[in-house]
Amino acid sequence: MKVFIENEAGSRIKHEHNEKTLEFKGATLVSRAFPWPYGFVLHTTGEDGDNVDCFVLTQRPLHTGEIVDCEPIGLIEQIEDGEVDHKIFARLQGEAVVLDSQAQETFKDFALHVFKHIPGKTMKVGRCCDRQTAVEYIHRHSDRNETV
């Protein structure tokens, strides 16, 4: 699967792009730095109408606007303001990375605090699911019915 990197690890700047054309729309400052590169899976549409969100668990610096080949390794359920907004976790091709309990806790802490600056914003983090669940989720939300 191809992932468009929207936000860089370690940055509190949240870039926004038109997720279908990849055109830059703007940037805002968030309350927490992104723990890993964050973007979205190309050619997908999630329940919220946006592309399926994806964190790439890597130590390699990935930059805004980069498109990288990834393998899904898991999914964490998330509800944002009452809407399903699950997150795919992926690794770069050839990297040996796992979605362990430490990564899950890092994500949960990030998700529950990243939008603290927005009054009334609600986030709920659910269970962590395996690679197969992530693959099925991406396939169900694919705009092209491609295999992952």
d(CA 69, CA 27): 25
Decide if pLDDT at 147 tops 60.
no
- Per-residue pLDDT tens for 68-119? 999 999 999 998 888 888 999 999 999 999 999 999 999 999 999 999 888 9
In a domain, 90, yes or no: yes
In a domain, 147, yes or no: no
In a domain, 77, yes or no: yes
CATH of the domain at 8: 3.90.80.10
Residue 106 region, left (φ>0) first, then alpha (ψ -120 to 50), else beta?
Answer: alpha
Q: What is the mean pLDDT of the chain?
A: 93
Res 18: pLDDT: 95
* Mean pLDDT of the 36-56 span: 95
* Mean pLDDT of the 33-55 span: 95
Whole-Å CA distances, 61 to 36, 40, 68: 9, 17, 12
DSSP assignment of 51-82: PPEEEE--SS---TT-EEEEEEEEEEEEEETT
- Look up residue 86 and give its DSSP letter: -
Q: Which domain holds residue 124?
A: 2-140
d(CA 61, CA 108): 22
In a domain, 146, yes or no: no
In a domain, 120, yes or no: yes
Domain count, the chain: 1
- Per-residue pLDDT tens for 114-135? 998 889 889 999 999 999 999 9
Residues of the chain with pLDDT > 90, as a percent, come to: 82
d(CA 28, CA 72): 28
In a domain, 73, yes or no: yes
Res 146: pLDDT: 53
Decide: residue 72, CB within 10 A, 0-12 exposed, 13-18 middle, 19+ buried: buried
Decide: residue 1, CB within 10 A, 0-12 exposed, 13-18 middle, 19+ buried: buried
